[in-house]
């Protein structure tokens, strides 16, 4: 196990789109263990995506269970994640391990339905809301080369609540 | 830009018109100045901006470097030497909204009660909405709850009892 180096903006690699994982082997699981250790080494990190450590594969880890009174699924390893449904919109403050010393407001879906594989290739579906759903959306953005900086809204932005569904 | 260049807080106030920011920042750039954190606001139709400016000269020289622009745009200029603590943001952990019929003393009352309950204000914006006959006051504060959020919630009960609407929500910054 090892703590990996985190790419920080303006490293252009953070804008790269990651490729799907096809081999669910020991090497993948060893990488997931390193990625998790890297996430837990940072202060307050609740999620991490493989491209943040320079591995352009569709793997994210999220664990918001340390936050009190937050509904969650515990430690989640999401390989090839895909959001199936979005519902509601919530504005919240985000920062990023790859963007030191800056936080800002971002609008995310309040609830999502998600399909992903685990580190053994097993397909799973999750329904999640709130902080955990926000973390997953932030990390999946990394897989598509997007940073929360690409989604900043004004702190005075009016939030109109309406439903959004997947295409 | 050399490391020794000093930092100033440059404040400009004037009548709002198109292109002020572009004109002034171009003059600063041409004079060899470097910008830090800045905030521009339009308050009651007035243009206001505060800029951290790193400049390798005196306060007087900085003032002269932008004089052509500030004179033609009729801007009031104020410059203070400052210490620049960049890359050291404090993150808010609470957001408070206060609103009500506009009345004298509301800001002092609310911020006074909150300060006593341990609030360090990081950001405050207030607005007068409604109509000239029936103005509404709206204030949004972000800060850090030094003595915890429940202490601030109790403090807000006091101003609520005085007829002001106020609510508070924790700010949970996600880092991922
Ligand atoms: Zn991130």
Question: What's the pLDDT at A154?
Answer: 80
**For tokens 């033609």, what's the residue?**
B72
CA nearest to A40 within chain B: B176
- What is the per-residue pLDDT for B137? 92
Predicted ipTM of the assembly: 0.87
Residue in chain B nearest A100 by alpha carbon: B87
Tokens at B163, concatenated: 């007829």
Q: Which H or E run includes B119? A: strand B119-130
Which pLDDT belongs to residue A159?
53
Confidence of residue A161 (pLDDT cuts 50, 70, 90): very low
Q: Does the beta-carbon distance from A67 to B175 stay under 8 Å?
A: no
Parallel, antiparallel or unpaired: strands A59-62 and A152-153: unpaired
CA distance B67 to chain A (A): 32
Please tell me the distance from the alpha carbon of residue A38 to that of residue A47, in angstroms, as a whole number: 10
| Structural domains present in chain A | 12-161 (3.90.45.10)
pLDDT tens digits for A125-156?
999 999 999 999 999 999 999 999 999 998 66
* Residue A158: pLDDT over 70: no
User: How many percent of chain A have pLDDT more than 70?
Assistant: 92
Distance CA A166, CA B130 (A): 39
Spacing of C-alpha A15 from chain mean position: 15
Are A118 and A134 in contact by the 8 Å Cβ rule? The answer is: no
Confidence of residue A100 (pLDDT cuts 50, 70, 90): very high
Cβ burial of A167 (10 Å; 0-12, 13-18, 19+) is: exposed
Structure confidence at residue A167 (pLDDT): 44
Q: Is B45 on the interface with A (CB under 8 A)?
A: no
- pTM of the predicted model as reported, rounded to 2 decimal places: 0.89
- For B6-82, which CATH class? alpha beta
Fold of B94-170: Alpha-Beta Plaits (3.30.70)
**Separation of CA B71 and ligand 1 centre (Å):** 45
Tens digits of per-residue pLDDT, A50-64?
A: 999 999 999 999 999
B93: part of which helix (H) or strand (E)? none
Mean pLDDT of chain A: 93
Contact between A131 and B173 using a beta-carbon 8 Å cutoff: no
A139 is catalytic: yes
pLDDT under 50: residue ranges of chain B:
1
In chain B, which residues fall in CATH 3.30.70.260?
6-82, 94-170
* Contact assignment for B87 to A96 by CB distance below 8 Å: no
Across the interface, of B125, B140, B174, the residue whose CB is closest to A138 is B174
């Amino acid at each position: 196990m090892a703590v990996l180096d985190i790419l920080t903006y303006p490293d252009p690699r953070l804008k790269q789109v990651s490729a799907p994982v096809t081999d669910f082997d020991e090497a993948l699981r060893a990488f997931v263990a390193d990625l998790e250790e890297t996430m837990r080494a940072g202060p307050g990190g609740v999620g991490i995506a493989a491209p943040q450590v320079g591995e352009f594969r569709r793997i994210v880890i999220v664990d918001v269970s340390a936050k009190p009174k937050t509904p969650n699924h515990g430690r989640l390893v999401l390989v090839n994640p895909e959001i199936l449904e979005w519902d509601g919109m919530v504005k919240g403050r985000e920062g990023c391990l790859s963007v030191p010393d800056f936080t800002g407001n971002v609008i995310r879906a309040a609830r999502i339905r998600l399909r992903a594989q685990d580190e053994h290739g097993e397909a799973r579906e999750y329904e999640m809301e709130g902080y955990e759903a926000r973390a997953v959306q932030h990390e999946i953005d990394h897989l598509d080369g997007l940073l929360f900086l690409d989604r900043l809204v004004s702190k005075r932005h009016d939030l109109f609540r309406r439903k959004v569904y997947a295409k | 830009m050399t490391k020794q260049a000093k930092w100033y807080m440059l404040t400009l106030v004037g009548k709002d018109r198109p292109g002020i920011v572009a004109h002034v920042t171009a003059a600063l750039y041409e004079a060899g100045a470097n910008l830090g954190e800045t905030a521009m606001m339009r308050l009651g139709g007035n243009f206001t901006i505060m800029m951290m400016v790193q400049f390798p000269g005196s306060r007087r020289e900085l003032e002269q470097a932008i004089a052509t622009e500030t004179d033609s745009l009729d801007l009031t200029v104020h410059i203070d030497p400052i210490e620049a603590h960049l890359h050291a943001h404090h993150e808010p952990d609470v957001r408070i909204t206060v609103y009500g019929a506009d009345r004298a003393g509301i800001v002092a009352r609310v911020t006074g009660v909150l300060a006593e309950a341990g609030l360090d204000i990081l950001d405050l914006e207030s607005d007068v909405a409604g109509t000239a006959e029936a103005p509404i006051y709206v204030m949004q504060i972000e800060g850090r709850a030094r003595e915890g959020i429940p202490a601030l919630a109790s403090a807000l009960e006091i101003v609520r009892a005085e007829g002001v609407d106020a609510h508070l929500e924790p700010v949970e910054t996600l880092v991922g």
